[in-house]
Each structure stands twice: as C-alpha cells, then as structure tokens.
Amino acid sequence: MSYAGTGNDAPVEHVQRLLSGFWHSQIIFVLARLRVADELAAGPRPVRDLAAAVGAHPGALLRLLRAAATIGLMAETEPDHYRLTEAGGCLRSDSPTAIRELAVAYGSPTVWRLVGDFEHSVRTGGPVAPAVLGHSFWEHLATHPEEAEHFALGMGEQSAQVAADVAATVDPSAYERLVDVGGAYGVLLTALLEKAPSATGVLFDRPPVIEAAGQRLKGSPSRAGSTWSAATSWKRSRRATCTC
C-alpha cells in the first residue's frame, strides 16, 4: 500500500499533516482578507507597521505570519520583519498568478459551514446547503452580493491559470460560436475569442454575474435569460447583446 507522503514521513505523520489542512486554509484566508500580500509587495516590513496598515492586532498578526512561514508563504528577514515568498506572492491582487479572490471565497464562513457538514451529504446523498443554509448555495449568493463577487472573481482567477493553455490546445478559430457555461466573468471565453476574432462568444451564468460581466467587458445585457441563467454574447469588439 502506498500513499502520497512527503519525504520520509511515516503514514501516521502524513495523515496528521492532512488533518491540519483546515488550519492552512484559514491562514491563507485571513492573509487574503487582510490584503497582507499587497502590503508586502514592495518588500519586507516590520510587523507593527504592517499591522497598522491592514488593521490588525500586532501580536496576533505576528503569530499569523509565523504560521504562514511554516507553510512557505512568508519568510522572516530579521526579528519581527517579514517578506513574501514566491508562493505567498500568489495572494497579491496584481500577481499574474493571483488567487486572492479564490482564497477569500473558499475560506469564507459560508463555505466553512458547508464543508464542515460534509458528513451529511455522505450519509444522505443530498446537498449540504439546504440543510445548513435553508436553500441552495446559488440562492445564498443571490442574496449576498459581496460573497458572490468574491466567488465569481475566484472562478475567474482559476480560469486565468488555464486560459492560455486551453487557447493554445484548442483551435477556437474553427468555430463560429463559442459557449462558456458557468463562465463567471468570461476570462476563459475572452482568451478564446482573442484567437477567434470572427467568432461570437456566449457566456452563460446567473443573471447578477452576467450583469457584472457585461460591465467588465464594456457591454451590458439587455435582459435576463431563463429562470436559471442569463446569456450574453459579444464579438471581439466587446459589443454586448442578449442572446436568450
């Protein structure tokens, strides 16, 4: 029997490491919420100055940074002075490999509650959200716009990591219409349209997401679509019209 261990860890050490994963997620989440990486973009800073910049308790922030250093996100340059590592740089808002919004979305109290009741789904075969929230996750996002924005931006960050590879692997110019279902703000679809200037792109997602996507793409849908989603199409010119 083999396992995906690290180094010479014994199986029990490997499992213990996995069990501590929820701590790691929350370390990343709090760093992202406080925008610590953005404040360290210019280089190392003393913890007291950093705490004032992000609105945190100096002693508590120091402990957070020490914890972040143990998982490779920060490095101490001198006593109580920290800098970003390459991995920590992914939490910068302006990083080409940014996943700050994804960290905020995944570490949110709502997602935390849903994942925490995972056993419910395993036992019943049903979704967790109705049992915990009283309705679906998507209905929850519809009434919590800040969470919805972080989620959509996080999905866009994930798409950005693969968009170039997808556009290079698939020849989009062979198609007249490209459809991205659940495409958030259209990051992947935009990358494909860059390679297919004569194609029409169709983006399907929830109406609030489509509305925000239209604004980001310098266009706006004229009306919402079905009860589940709206659809917006645009050519490379970014002119937006509703197709549903």
- Please tell me whether residue 219 adopts helix, strand or coil conformation: coil
Percent of the residues in the chain that have a pLDDT greater than 90, as a whole number: 55
List Cβ neighbours of 130 (8 Å cut-off, separation of 6 or more): 136
- Say which DSSP state 88 is in: G
Query: Which has the closest alpha carbon to 152: 216, 88, 66?
Result: 216
Whether the predicted pLDDT of 10 surpasses 60: yes
Express each pLDDT in 131-145 by its tens digit.
999 999 999 998 999
Whether the predicted pLDDT of 198 surpasses 90: no
CB neighbourhood size of 134 (10 A): 9
- Two tokens, residue 11: 């199986």
Whether the predicted pLDDT of 219 surpasses 70: no
Give the DSSP per-residue string, 90-148: GGSTT-TT--HHHHHHHTSHHHHHHHHTHHHHHHHSS-SHHHHHSS-HHHHHHT-HHHH
List Cβ neighbours of 42 (8 Å cut-off, separation of 6 or more): none
The mean pLDDT of 154-164, rounded to a whole number, is 86
Express each pLDDT in 48-98 by its tens digit.
999 999 999 999 999 999 999 999 999 999 999 999 999 999 999 999 889
Residue with the bigger pLDDT between 173 and 24: it is 24
Residue with the bigger pLDDT between 196 and 116: it is 116
Whether the predicted pLDDT of 240 surpasses 70: no
Whether the predicted pLDDT of 1 surpasses 60: no
Q: How confident is the model at residue 231 (pLDDT cuts 50, 70, 90)?
A: very low
Residue 139 half-sphere exposure toward CB, CA atoms < 13 A: 8
Report pTM. Answer: 0.78
Looking at every residue in the chain, the average pLDDT score rounds to: 84
Whether the predicted pLDDT of 216 surpasses 80: no
- Two tokens, residue 193: 């349209």
Q: How confident is the model at residue 211 (pLDDT cuts 50, 70, 90)?
A: confident
The mean pLDDT of 146-157, rounded to a whole number, is 91
C-beta separation of 201 from 189 below 8 A: yes
C-beta separation of 41 from 35 below 8 A: no
Whether the predicted pLDDT of 27 surpasses 90: yes
